[in-house]
């Protein structure tokens, strides 16, 4: 039986990019949002998505729209006379609701659907949208990434609705099925496990299905001239890496590290939370790596240029792996909770570099402390980041949510002790597995594990304009705020 999530908070806002939507006349359609503090215009009230079934037809060219059909199985939490979906940058050809044709129109970046009959509260509805999915557009807009030999997805933070109609907010997790038809020369890989493949003439059809609910921002479909490298991880875990065929041998020295990375993470926080894992290494200049669920996206250049020391590449691989627990399995309920994702991934990145690469964690944290006041001034405190810069949605990925938030975890370990901290980490990923969770959930659990009220500690560290004194290190100083201008763009890890 599918889990029916009941959490209500959803929303995001994408860079203005007009959707070309063919629509029947629908009077006064209005865009909706759920009021996320950072992305107030995305996400839609009144329903929970249970499952997406997304069919894509790829003709072997990444410079033309794909034909697509997105089916959404949802649960109405209140009576609905209209249903809003987030969708832009595609042409809608038709919509059905419960197998009956429905009128539709566009409003902002919403697809507004007028069902043929009102949807009762506490009922299921199936929406089917026949549309195109266009990989063309600004390189930094997100959604489809055009690689040297095909396509991949990079939907974080708010770009899934540039690819498929959705309720595009991490608080509404759902199961996914991907059905992709492509030329036989193309390898298709997606989140989860492959459950079917069939060939007919010069085409092949692939079906992938997730075994756990997933946020829209973590969806991944890769189509290219790739090789899938399979191996086993700890306790028989199925691992699959997707690599450019010509570089399969060159990349093996990195790929074979993953089982040991997983073993290390499991020693820290417990069993890997999904059915499979692997690296998707793309011929694309994205400027970042990304924790798409069960299949982390990496730039090829991270591994092939020789520009980075081995310990650094290892730690970046661990950063994206750590996200499978922190961000993917336990997903933020709002984008202001982003520090829980990036702070934890940066923490385990730094801890791995400390234990395996002889890069002292205390040195890294002391350097972060020295810059923390400047980071807070530029980007806001960790749990109350400033809104995205105008026209730069990815500017929420600032230093304060990376090492600035790992610094909070370091301070917490100093405050409650290593044993309690490690118990907290394990309890966090266990109690909120496959669900969404908030900053308040984390602080409440931390107080419970520590056996005392940590409200004052977290209020200062997560919301203060100034960095509090570091427990155990009264000599640490944060530099005076100078010219910490906000830098738009993405970190090398996300």
List pLDDT tens digits, range 113-137: 999 999 999 999 999 999 999 999 8
Which of 85, 67, 50 has the alpha carbon at shortest distance from 165?
Answer: 85
Residue 335 has pLDDT above 50, yes or no: yes
**Helices of type H across 203-337:** 248-255, 258-269, 301-304, 310-323
| Side-chain half-sphere CA neighbours of 207 within 13 A | 8
Alpha carbon distance 50, 6 (integer Å): 11
Q: Which residue has the tokens 């798409």?
A: 292
Q: What are phi and psi of 331, to 5 degrees?
A: -105, 140
Nearest to 110 by CA among 217, 7, 19: 19
- Of 192, 197, 321, residue with least CA distance to 255: 321
Q: Cα separation of 413 and 344, whole Å?
A: 13
Could you tell me the sign of the dihedral formed by the alpha carbons of 205, 210, 215, 220, in that order? negative
Longest dimension (CA), the chain: 71
- pLDDT value at residue 27: 59
Hey, which residues does 125 pair with through a beta bridge?
Answer: 74
Name the CA radius of gyration of the chain, rounded. Answer: 22
- Compare 11 and 238 and report the one with higher pLDDT: 238
Give the pLDDT confidence score for residue 270 in this predicted structure: 98
- Alpha-carbon distance of 68 to 144, in angstroms, equals 14
Query: Residue 393, SS3?
Result: helix
Work out the pLDDT band at 141, boundaries 50, 70, 90.
confident
Q: Which residues contact 297 (CB under 8 A, 6 or more apart)?
A: 145, 152, 153, 154, 220, 280, 282, 286, 289, 290, 291
Q: How big, in percent rounded to 5, are the helix, strand and coil portions of the chain?
A: 30, 30, 40
> Which band of pLDDT confidence, cut at 50, 70 and 90, is reported for residue 361?
very high
Please answer whether residues 204 and 197 qualify as being in contact, where contact means their C-beta atoms are separated by less than 8 angstroms.
yes
pLDDT at position 6 over 60? no
The overall average pLDDT reported for the chain is 91
Give start and end residues of each alpha helix (H) in 218-360. 248-255, 258-269, 301-304, 310-323, 338-357
pLDDT digits (tens, 9 = 90+) for 15-73: 223 333 444 445 578 878 999 999 998 999 999 999 999 999 999 999 999 999 999 99
Q: Element (H or E) spanning 127, and its range?
A: strand 123-133
pLDDT, tens digit, for every residue of 210-232? Answer: 999 999 999 999 999 999 999 99
Instruction: Say what the pTM is.
Output: 0.91
- Residue 427, φ and ψ in degrees, nearest 5: -65, -40
The helix (H) or strand (E) run that includes residue 408 is helix 403-416
Please give the pLDDT value at position 492: 61
Q: Quote the DSSP letter at residue 485.
A: P
* pLDDT computed for residue 17 by the predictor: 31
Say what the pLDDT of residue 31 is.
Answer: 79
Backbone dihedral angles phi then psi of residue 462, each to the nearest 5 degrees: -95, -25
pLDDT, tens digit, for every residue of 433-447?
A: 999 999 999 999 999
Report the candidate in 133, 303, 130 with the shortest Cα–Cα distance to residue 219: 133
pLDDT of residue 290: 95
Q: How confident is the model at residue 485 (pLDDT cuts 50, 70, 90)?
A: very low
Distance of alpha carbon 54 from alpha carbon 87, whole angstroms: 14
The pLDDT score that the predictor gives to residue 285 is 87
Give the residue with greater pLDDT, 491 vs 25: 25
pLDDT digits (tens, 9 = 90+) for 290-326: 999 999 999 999 999 999 999 999 999 999 999 999 9
Q: What is the mean pLDDT of residues 445-467?
A: 98
Cis omega (within 30 of 0) for bond into 120:
no
SS3 286: coil
Residue 259 token pair: 């089982």
Where residue 10 falls among pLDDT bands split at 50, 70, 90?
A: very low
Q: What is the 3-state secondary structure (H, E, C) of 165-184?
A: CECCCCCCCEEEEEEEEEEC
The residue that leads in pLDDT, 10 or 355, is: 355
Exposure string over 261-270, b if 16+ CB within 10 A, otherwise e = bbebbbebbb
pLDDT at residue 406 tops 90: yes
Alpha carbons within 13 angstroms on the beta-carbon side of residue 345 total 31
DSSP symbol at 300: T
Q: Where are the alpha helices (DSSP H) in 121-269?
A: 248-255, 258-269
Q: Is the pLDDT of residue 172 over 70?
A: yes
Q: What is the distance between the alpha carbons of residues 332 and 317, in angstroms, rounded to a whole number? A: 21
């Amino acid at each position: 039986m599918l889990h029916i999530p009941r959490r209500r908070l959803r929303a995001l806002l994408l860079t203005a990019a007009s959707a070309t939507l063919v629509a029947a006349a629908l009077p006064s359609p209005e865009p909706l949002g759920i009021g996320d503090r950072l992305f107030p215009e995305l996400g839609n009230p009144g329903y929970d998505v249970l499952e997406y079934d997304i069919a894509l037809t790829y003709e072997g060219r990444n410079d033309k729209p794909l034909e697509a059909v997105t089916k959404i199985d949802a649960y109405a939490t209140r009576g609905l006379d209209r249903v809003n979906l987030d969708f832009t940058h595609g042409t809608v050809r038709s919509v059905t609701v419960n197998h009956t044709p429905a009128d539709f129109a566009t409003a902002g970046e919403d697809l507004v659907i007028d069902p043929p009959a009102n949807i009762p509260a506490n009922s299921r509805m199936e929406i089917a949208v026949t549309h195109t999915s266009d990989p063309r557009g600004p390189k930094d807009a997100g959604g489809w990434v055009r690689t040297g030999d095909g396509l991949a997805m990079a939907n974080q933070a708010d770009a899934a609705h540039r690819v498929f109609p959705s309720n595009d907010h991490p608080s509404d997790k759902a199961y996914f099925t991907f059905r992709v038809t492509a030329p036989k020369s193309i390898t298709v890989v997606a989140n989860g496990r492959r459950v079917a493949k069939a060939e007919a003439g010069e085409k092949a059809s692939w079906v992938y299905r997730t075994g756990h609910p997933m946020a829209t921002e973590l969806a991944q479909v890769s189509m290219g001239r790739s090789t899938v490298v399979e191996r086993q991880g700890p306790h028989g875990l199925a691992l699959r890496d997707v690599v450019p065929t010509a570089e399969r041998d060159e990349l093996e020295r990195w790929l074979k590290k993953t089982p040991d990375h997983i073993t290390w993470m499991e020693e820290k926080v417990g069993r890997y939370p999904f059915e499979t894992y692997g690296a998707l290494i793309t011929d694309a200049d994205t400027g970042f790596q990304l924790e798409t669920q069960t299949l982390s996206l990496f730039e090829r250049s991270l591994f092939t240029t020789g520009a980075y020391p081995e310990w650094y590449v290892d730690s970046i691989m661990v950063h994206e792996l750590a996200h499978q627990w922190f961000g993917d399995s336990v997903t933020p309920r709002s984008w202001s909770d982003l520090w829980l994702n990036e702070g934890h991934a940066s923490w385990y990145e730094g801890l791995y570099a400390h234990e395996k690469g002889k890069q002292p964690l205390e040195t890294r944290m002391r350097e972060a402390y020295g810059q923390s006041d400047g980071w807070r001034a530029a980007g806001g405190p960790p749990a109350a980041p400033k809104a995205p810069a105008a026209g730069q949605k990815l500017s929420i990925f600032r230093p304060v949510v990376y090492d600035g938030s790992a610094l909070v975890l370091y301070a917490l370990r100093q405050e409650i002790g290593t044993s309690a901290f490690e118990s907290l980490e394990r309890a966090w990923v266990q109690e909120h597995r496959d669900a969404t969770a908030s900053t308040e959930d984390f602080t409440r659990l931390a107080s419970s594990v520590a056996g005392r009220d940590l409200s004052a500690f977290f209020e200062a560290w997560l919301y203060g304009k100034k960095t509090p004194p570091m427990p155990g290190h009264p000599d640490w100083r944060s530099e005076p705020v100078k010219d910490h201008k906000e830098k738009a763009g993405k970190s090398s890890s996300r």
